[in-house]
Structure 1
């Protein structure tokens, strides 16, 4: 049984990457924006969402009219709401639907959740975006805003560089993109663990219908955006989104406190036999290590001490929310892409400022090294590194391989990283 839709809004937003985070974040913000304006079926902002790597989410959602539940799991209880901001869902391989959607002059915004790896040279997402923009240019459909919602510093600039690298061989398209397309940078934040069978049963009990695709999220959410919207946008501020001149301070705060903290808890926690962020955060040894990491990351944050302390205090509460089963194995994926902005860049800044390398920062890289050697790592971009690590026997040589993969300018730190790795290995033996 599927709940009846109250509205199917016209498609005015396209989205690439139909995963849980999009449905708990951008789609939810759009739902709240439509509700705030009491938008009827002919009004409001509907989303045409396309899957990224696999079509499964589109198939399941299409079977229930693209409607799904958001289970908000707070420390003291659950709330369930219905999200119907998705007007259409598509298999990302449906190129005809993709180009037709981007060529529609009513579509004013393209949002993206393609993860850090999706911006690398050779990834398929930039090429799909280029094809969509080429169709829009041919249709003379006017300007559009591209809004990256991934955990990358300067994600709008990164997306712009990735797209323009593929339009450089087409002078007319390149000129059109430069004139008509805005690349909006954002900072996004909402912990969204993978949905379990138990979550599905909870939604069935609370919502009263069989939802095969519910999403689970914490109560907290944040969205900070900077950039132009040449064809308009949903009133996302109704859900608390902030529009600023520069998101860099906010994204730096998130990457270096929340995301770096997640990486520490994930790699150390898995070595100590923990399953979730809450379990790892409750471990006194890891709680102390987290505080050390935050102290090492703090000098590069462009906020006063009170603001940083408030952000850290909020994170302690969020990490301790044991009713959010944010599994460490999920957090630990794709470390080769995630650790550079979260750990390596702050480490570089410490060295440039004349400070020594942070012991907790090196500890995260050490824990990642040991995680790669367990055979449980999910990080296809590190497969070659894993093979080389297994062949290497000397600890300093192993540390050099790790640094060469994520920070080739910091290979002088191979010996202290090797010492950190040996110490960590002994402590968890």
Structure 2
């Protein structure tokens, strides 16, 4: 295809409009951040005053691609009726994760108001009780590096280095806004960063207690990985070549609870909600959307499906999802309009033009299932019910692991150890919840789950 321009670039799209210095720093630059927090910032009522400097996660590729395009990218909202493209200019700087010097500069700037995080659950490297995992070599190395003034290598270690730079610059308060699917993610990150700071410098920990707020969030927008076909679609829609477009669904949701001592964008103009108690919203999303996604991932793959929409087109999978929802909603507040929320979820899952791959959702199962499925199972058992739908999800995961399918998981060494156990299923369940693994009835029920490949 011939294009009006070879690639996206800021001057061609925006002319000579001045670039506003970033007031938001983001850790974990990826498709979801660009479809969610960046989108809300670009659509805030005061968007002209806010831009983002973003750092990658494990790979520098996203920074390289976006830097070549002056931070611009195409956001494609994909509906059953067609595509709508928007060129996003809110990210004005994209850096590799290991550029700790630049991160320190940005966090030491008084105008930097907040840090958002989408680093995925395992990347926090925290134990179940919220403390740093001292048995993790990367965490132990970071503590020594931070004590010695060297650059750390983990996400929280780098964030702590940046906060220390802000303290030393006397740059004032700042908000940390985690946007990962973790219950009580604000207190979770606060506890982890404070414990890490205590291990490095008690003075830094005291400063964080006084000057840093931690905002809890619930985030929602299905954003699959970008494909070559998506790049072709972006070029067809805009006439511009884009190496790094993002495809997402029209639906989005963002609920936040906490303080922003140095200001924030007017995200509510874009539909964000600020509430006093976020737990009901995050639990609804975590259990109904994320829990169903994990259920579909393992069962769908075992039944020969590749995407969420394909799995939902399988009546058996759809029935299992509905049964799991029946279990989950019994333990959520009725005032959250569960029937309407479930109806919208089915519509979203049925959108075959959003190719949300089950293999992607299936990654990090040992971490995800512990917060998406185990709470429902425990609540059902405590109420005297079997928890059969939740058990089915655990059975599908254990079968997937036992099959040797090679699904990516940060806990793979522990999984490998479990697979060497005499009772492999019980050992796998212990990675999710020790109490569940000690319940003979549940272990037997998980082993009894049978999933046959569908047509």
What TM-score results when the alignment is normalised by the length of structure 1? 0.94
2: CA distance, partners of 1:417 / 1:426: 20
Q: Does 1:101 align with 2:106?
A: yes
Identify the residue that residue 112 of structure 1 maps to in structure 2: 117
**Aligned with residue 240 of structure 1, among 267, 271, 276:** 271
Q: Does the residue aligned with 1:114 lie in a helix, a strand or coil?
A: coil
Change (3 A) 1:360 1:226: same
**Aligned with residue 386 of structure 2, among 352, 357, 377:** 357
Q: Is the 8 A contact 2:395 2:449 kept in 1?
A: no
2: CA distance, partners of 1:401 / 1:236: 45
1:346 deviates by 1.8
Identify the residue that residue 401 of structure 2 maps to in structure 1: 372
Identify the residue that residue 25 of structure 1 maps to in structure 2: 36
Q: Is the 8 A contact 1:365 1:417 kept in 2?
A: no
Q: Is the 8 A contact 1:226 1:243 kept in 2?
A: yes
1:206-261 Cα deviation digits (max 9, x unpaired): 01100000001000000000000000001111110001112111000001100001
Q: Does 1:14 align with 2:25?
A: yes
Q: Is the 8 A contact 1:399 1:414 kept in 2?
A: no
Q: How does 1:350-429 map to 2 (within 5 A)?
A: 350-352=380-382, 354-392=383-421, 397-425=423-451
1: CA distance, partners of 2:56 / 2:101: 14
1: CA distance, partners of 2:211 / 2:274: 21
1:140-168 Cα deviation digits (max 9, x unpaired): 00000000000000000111011001111
**Aligned with residue 128 of structure 1, among 158, 170, 187:** 158
Q: How does 1:197-236 map to 2 (within 5 A)?
A: 197-236=228-267
Unaligned runs of 5+ residues in structure 1 are none
1:85-124 Cα deviation digits (max 9, x unpaired): 0011101111110111111101001000001112223461
2: CA distance, partners of 1:234 / 1:200: 30
Once superposed, what is the RMSD of the aligned Cα atoms? 1.8
Q: Is the 8 A contact 1:399 1:418 kept in 2?
A: no
**Aligned with residue 197 of structure 2, among 167, 173, 182:** 167
Q: Does 1:323 align with 2:350?
A: no
Q: Does 1:348 align with 2:374?
A: no
Identify the residue that residue 289 of structure 1 maps to in structure 2: 320
Mean Cα displacement is larger for which, 119-128 or 289-298? 119-128
2: CA distance, partners of 1:87 / 1:423: 50
2: CA distance, partners of 1:399 / 1:386: 10
2: CA distance, partners of 1:259 / 1:28: 21
1:258-300 Cα deviation digits (max 9, x unpaired): 0001011110000001000000011000111111101111111
1:356 deviates by 2.5
Q: Does the residue aligned with 1:230 lie in a helix, a strand or coil?
A: coil
Q: Is the 8 A contact 1:373 1:386 kept in 2?
A: no
Q: How does 1:245-324 map to 2 (within 5 A)?
A: 245-304=276-335, 307-324=337-354
1:427 deviates by 7.0
2: CA distance, partners of 1:125 / 1:38: 27
Q: How does 1:47-66 map to 2 (within 5 A)?
A: 47-66=52-71
Q: Is the 8 A contact 1:223 1:240 kept in 2?
A: yes
Mean Cα displacement is larger for which, 166-175 or 94-103? 166-175
2: CA distance, partners of 1:162 / 1:389: 27
Q: Does the residue aligned with 1:294 lie in a helix, a strand or coil?
A: helix
1: CA distance, partners of 2:196 / 2:108: 18
Unaligned runs of 5+ residues in structure 2 are 1-6, 126-132, 140-153
2: CA distance, partners of 1:214 / 1:136: 33
Identify the residue that residue 178 of structure 2 maps to in structure 1: 148
1:416 deviates by 3.8
Q: Does the residue aligned with 2:431 lie in a helix, a strand or coil?
A: helix
Q: Is the 8 A contact 1:156 1:186 kept in 2?
A: yes
2: CA distance, partners of 1:377 / 1:359: 26
Q: Does the residue aligned with 2:410 lie in a helix, a strand or coil?
A: helix
Q: Does 1:185 align with 2:196?
A: no
What TM-score results when the alignment is normalised by the length of structure 2? 0.88
1:415 deviates by 4.5
Q: How many residues align?
A: 418
